[in-house]
Amino acid sequence: MSSEPNVKLTIAFTNPDLDAEEKDKEARNLLREIKDLDVESAELVEVTEIPERGKSVAGFLWGVLQAEVSLANFKKLLGFLGDRLGNKTIELEVEANGKKLKVKASSREELSAAIEQAQKFIAGN
């Protein structure tokens, strides 16, 4: 059994041109694809407290999902996200070893920079 900690990613679709239901559809589609990868877990984010301007349905935040992945598969998941989310407006939060990194991206270039920043963040932990 590996002693490496897992990395938790939170992905929120934040495009202001989409309504809450469209953001939720984006999150659910991505969730279905992520579950086919080698991840420890992937799920919609349950409502514990609703953030400002957040909406929830059936106990889940609309347009927000979390995935937990081993350190070994982290880079692979980031590559997958880069391919799928290059033209989406998102917020990505990476958590490992009790530290968090939060980045925003709204273009392929910004997402590439965010992914690079996330990789450096994890490498530094």
What is the average pLDDT score of the chain? 86
Residue 123 pLDDT greater than 80, yes or no: yes
Give the Cβ contact number of residue 40 at 10 Å: 12
In the chain, count of helices (H) and strands (E)? 3, 6
- Count of domains observed in the chain: 1
At residue 125, the pLDDT reads: 62
pLDDT number for residue 54:
57
Within a domain: 109: yes
Mean pLDDT within 81-88: 89
Q: Is the pLDDT of residue 49 over 80?
A: no
CATH of the domain at 17: 3.30.70
What tokens were used for 106? 């709204």
Closest C-alpha to 5, from 73, 82, 65, 64: 73
d(CA 85, CA 13): 10
Structural domain boundaries enclosing 81: 6-124
Residue 1 lies in a domain: no
Q: How large is the average pLDDT for residues 8-28?
A: 93
pTM comes to: 0.84
